[in-house]
Amino acid sequence: PRHPRAPMPAHLLQEEMSSSYTTTTTTTITEPPARIVQNGEGSSEKHLLHVEEDIRPEMKDDIYDPSYKDKEGPRPKLEYVWRNIILMSLLHLGALYGIVLIPTCKVYTWLWGFFYYIISALGITAGAHRLWSHRSYKARLPLRVFLIIANTMAFQNDAYEWARDHRVHHKFSETDADPHNARRGFFFSHVGWLLVRKHPAVKEKGGLLDLSDLKAEKLLMFQRRHYKPAVLLMCFILPTLVPWYFWGETFQHSLYVATFLRYAIVLNATWLVNSAAHLYGYRPYDKNINPRENILVSLGAVGEGFHNYHHSFPYDYSTSEYRWHINLTTFFIDCMAALGLAYDRKKVSKAAVLAKIKRTGDGSYKSG
């Protein structure tokens, strides 16, 4: 039987497509995982169902650990990474010059830059994030190869390192063990965390995570071994040479618009999930955590702005209650599922979502 969904563009097509999958499976999670939730009176409620052990037995290291508390005392002195500061500054200066060159670009160069932005964004969202960080769905080899190439195009550290940092971020969210702790302000959680040495707690807690699933994946280890030359080719050389060679774009326009500007946009769209989506927006699912629902972030980050939901249910492949609503990544995964390339997509049940809203939501939830 089909379940009614919230109205959204193309929802009828989506239901038809979702119900037509015969070669793929979707696992529905009927209860949220065990965690301690503080209520208004300060008492705590313990949920004893460790359902994620049954639904996603291979991984528990992205589930929030409320028992971890920051150590007392001042933080260690910031150690600046001057190489990163200089390179990020030069990239953004190049991107600003790229904006100036946009009006004199060929249309094909605009389209190429947009195409490269979408593919590389999917390498982060569908690849490093939903597949490798959270194991929220499974992918067959052709899709994994596509995603590792797209992830290399995005140049946001190799997928192994990205997933490791992201699991630490979820398990120890907004503590000193969180690599981009939003409690340290917008700039730090946006880009500042990449410009300084990691807090010792990040290294300590990151070293305790079970990353055996990532280490066992040959594709990830191949990317990690060959990351520097692969990034040079896929993020810089290829996007610059294609417009220059195939439709006679000037080298200057190719470099500053299709490469520097496009790369800077992909980076900042991803970073806004760590900064803006932890600071601005509603918390309809859990008012006790800082991540928010932010539609503008979702537009830029192809579906990753439903952040209060995502931190409440990190194992949901859609990172959102609604599948295709401002969520290109979910649409992409569902298309791959229709082709038989993605399967075992984890989805939280409506009953579990409504129970969570009633228990810990901020009252901003609107049904339908």
DSSP code per residue over 325-347: TT-HHHHHHHHHHHTTSEE-EEE
End-to-end CA distance of the chain: 19
Which one-letter amino acid corresponds to residue 294?
A: N
Q: What is the pLDDT along the chain (368 residues), one digit of tens a residue?
A: 444 444 444 443 444 344 333 334 555 554 444 443 343 333 333 333 334 334 566 677 788 788 788 888 787 888 999 999 999 999 999 999 999 999 999 999 999 999 999 999 999 999 999 999 999 999 999 999 999 999 999 999 999 999 999 999 999 988 999 999 999 999 999 999 999 999 999 998 888 898 999 999 999 999 999 999 999 999 999 999 999 999 999 999 999 999 999 999 999 999 999 999 999 999 999 988 899 999 899 989 999 999 999 999 999 999 998 888 889 999 999 999 999 999 999 998 888 889 889 888 877 776 54
233 Cα distance to chain centroid? 24
Please name which of 63, 296, 35 lies closest in space to residue 166, comparing C-alpha atoms.
63
What does the alpha-carbon distance between residue 153 and residue 24 come to, in Å, rounded to a whole number?
28
Q: Which residues pair with 80 in a beta bridge?
A: 196
CB 32 within 8 A of CB 356: yes
What does the alpha-carbon distance between residue 308 and residue 281 come to, in Å, rounded to a whole number?
9
